[in-house]
Structures are given as structure tokens and as C-alpha cells.
Amino acid sequence: MLETAAYIIFACWVFWHGYIHAMGLYRAKLQGRLVGLPLVLSVPVIFVTFALDVILQFTVASLIFWEKPTGIGFEKRKYKGVTVPWPVGDWFVTDRLRRYTAQGSGWRFRIADVICYRLADPFDPTGAHCDSEEPRLAEVQK
């Protein structure tokens, strides 16, 4: 049991570091500086982080929040003139956190609040990881 808890904590820690790295790449992309070789070299990091996000969403996050992901499915959307299947529902941990922070109360809200505002927001270029889907840099850059 203790070993399982250690693995869960380690997986969350690795995912958080992958998130921090991905947000650094995202910041460079928004600034127009992630092109050429750096873009190509960053693709594996992005794929691993997204895969870990989905895996943790369906396993660890479901255990932590004691609820399975909701609304899982796909819808057709236009992307650059091409119709593609687009995931809808709680595919990613952020989707779940956004839903809980919108509720505004309860124990799931309190956990989501800490994760969003203390662990995610400081590294997101928008400054509001769970509040915004807008790909813009935060107004204040220091």
C-alpha cells in the first residue's frame, strides 16, 4: 500500500515537471520563438506530457477526486479548413479542474483550487491555467 502511494506521488511529481516544461515551450510558441530545430526537439516532450495527462486523468485523478471523468467523447470540428474529431469532456486533468473550480465549493473545489492557483498558474503563460483557454501571454511580464 505504501509503495503504491509512493508511485502515485512520484507520477504526479513527474507530471507536474512535464507540465512546467510544456508551459515553457508554450510560452516560447506564443512569443513566436519556438520554430525549427527547437520545435522538432520539443515534440516528444509534448506527446509524453499529453499522454501522461490522459493516463493520470483516468487513474490517479479519478482516485484523488473519487469520481470518474465525465462527458468523454468526440465531436467534429473544423481546424484550418479540415474537419477533425475533437475530444470533449474530461479527457485532461485541467478539464476536471476547470469543472471543479467553477463549482466554487466543496472538498473537490478546495483540492482543485490548490492545484490550479498554486501549482499550475505560476507556470502558465496566460497566468490563469484553469480559468482561461485564451492563448495569450499574461499582461504583466516580469
Give the DSSP letter string of 86-131: EEESS-SHHHHHHHHHHH--SHHHHHHHHIIIIIIGGG-TTS-TTT
Tens digits of residue pLDDT in 88-110? 888 899 989 999 988 888 999 99
CA angle 95, 88, 23 (to 5 degrees): 45
Per cent of the chain over pLDDT 90 is 48
pLDDT interval class at 140 (50, 70, 90)? very low
C-beta of residue 125 within 8 angstroms of C-beta of residue 27: yes
Q: How far apart are the first and last CA of the chain?
A: 44
Average pLDDT, whole number, for the chain?
87
Query: Grid coordinates 507540465 are at which residue?
Result: 19
pTM (2 decimals)? 0.79
Mean pLDDT value across residues 112-135:
83
Tens digits of residue pLDDT in 1-41? 889 889 989 999 999 999 999 999 989 988 899 999 999 99
